[in-house]
Structure 1
Amino acid sequence: MTLMRIGILGTGNVGRALASAWARAGHDVVLGSRRPDAPELLAELKELTASGLRVDGPAGAAAHAEVLVNATPGTASVALLRTIGAEVLADRIILDVGVGFLEDGSLSHPGVSLGEEIQQAFPETRVVKTLCTIDRKVMIAPDSLEGPATVFLSGEDAEAKKVVRGLIGDLGWADDALLDLGGIATARGQENFALLFIGIAGATGTYEFGVRVVLPTSGGSGLDH
């Protein structure tokens, strides 16, 4: 395991879950919030900060990080990253977990994914989209599922994907559970899965599930239809 400096933008349920899990694995984690000194936020994060996890502003979390995790609402992510600045984000790995929803429940990025928008806005940053097809509890506890599930990765930079694979492994996922979909354009599929995710949750009564890619026993006949 390679221990890393991780900054997490977003102090909601996803950000907290990932911060706690990676800190337990030994990584140096800083949570980034627009209101890092707010008493109500510090009260909510008391258990995490008591264990040594730090809270800073978004720019401070980004400056700290080798890997910066975007766990902010997808409708606000690019604007928040712009406040940090392209110079700070250059050559950083951004592990993008975000999905954007509008008030009516539709996706805010139906044609072009948030992952693509971040990559386009910050071309010197290495964006990897992942973990957005599972609930926060499953993210950090894959063994809570009855069987194996699949986690997807999208991005242009092979080395960045390798780093992210290692971090997902530190959450408890086996390497053969990770499926590289290809370039950042494939993040569209990951993000659009959010609509099916909501449907499955409604049908099963829980958000704590995974999906698994199951291949034919013979290996299939390629992509011909």
Structure 2
Amino acid sequence: MKIAILGTGAVGTTIATKLIELGHQVMIGSRSKTNEKAIEFVNKFDKNASNGTFEEAATFGEIIFNCVKGEFAIEALKQAGSGITNKILIDVSIPVDTKKGTPLSLIPELCNTNSLGEEIQKTFPNTKVVKTLNTMWSTLMIVPTMLQDGDHTNFICGNDEEAKNNVKSLLKEIGWKEQAIMDLGDITGSRGTEGLMPLWLRIWGATMGTFSIKVVN
């Protein structure tokens, strides 16, 4: 499958690495085709890795991962243009507020009664936005078995059921157990998963180790 990764940070490159290892063709997208991080990443692989602009990557991908920092995500997706139209967009980003230094809160306009996942869906109504993988450390996203043999919870939400099912299949290919994937319903579920970030940061500060969230009932 052809997959686009928008964003050259740790989350984007970590997910891209796993997908390339699984045999998918991956294009890393950034503002410029000459982005040094993207070029350096692509040069690590003999095949199935390329880079381009946000628009080139989105056009290339059958499925698109949004791994751009939350505060810049909408603008990056606008730069992707028609490349995201009628496609599945897996949104991993979180709207943390970095204006006051260490991000311990969310951007006010994108929490409580709204979320970044919802804002993306409203801005791009013809894109099938699916929120997932945004409640954990990047390496745990692609190696869920590094904790409790994968016995912890990965949340998913989105308006399009078929799109969610396709994403669930990809998550299982990555290594997630079906029983570990919890469907929270439509894209408003993003309010909950994004809202976990302030708690996540506090836990990380207290433990400085790898951890995850598990729903027990």
Assess same fold via TM > 0.5.
yes
Cα displacement (A) at 1:57:
0.9
Query: Which residue identity lines up with residue 95 of structure 1 in the other structure?
Result: I
Q: Deviations over 1:66-101 (max 9, x none)?
A: 11100000001111111222x332211000000022
Give the secondary structure class of the aligned counterpart of 2:120: helix
| Alpha carbons 2:24, 2:48 under 8 Å: kept | no
Aligned mate of 1:163, from 166, 173, 176: 166
Rate the CA distance shift 1:70–1:31 in 2: closer, same or farther, 3 A. Answer: same
| Alpha carbons 2:128, 2:163 under 8 Å: kept | yes
Give the secondary structure class of the aligned counterpart of 1:75: helix
| Alpha carbons 2:132, 2:157 under 8 Å: kept | yes
Task: Tell which structure's C-alpha radius of gyration is larger.
Answer: 1
| Alpha carbons 2:13, 2:41 under 8 Å: kept | no
Rate the CA distance shift 1:137–1:40 in 2: closer, same or farther, 3 A. Answer: closer
Cα displacement (A) at 1:186:
0.9
Q: 1:79 and 2:75 equivalent? A: yes
State the partner residue of 1:127: 129
Counterpart Cα distance in 1 of 2:119 and 2:9: 22
Give the secondary structure class of the aligned counterpart of 1:182: coil
Report % sequence identity.
Answer: 36
Q: Which runs of 5+ in 1 are unaligned?
A: 216-225
Give the secondary structure class of the aligned counterpart of 2:196: helix
CA root-mean-square deviation: 1.5
Counterpart Cα distance in 2 of 1:39 and 1:20: 17
Give the secondary structure class of the aligned counterpart of 1:21: helix
Q: Which runs of 5+ in 2 are unaligned?
A: none
Rate the CA distance shift 1:41–1:22 in 2: closer, same or farther, 3 A. Answer: closer
Give the secondary structure class of the aligned counterpart of 2:70: coil
What TM-score comes out, normalization by structure 2 length?
0.91
Query: Which residue identity lines up with residue 46 of structure 1 in the other structure?
Result: N
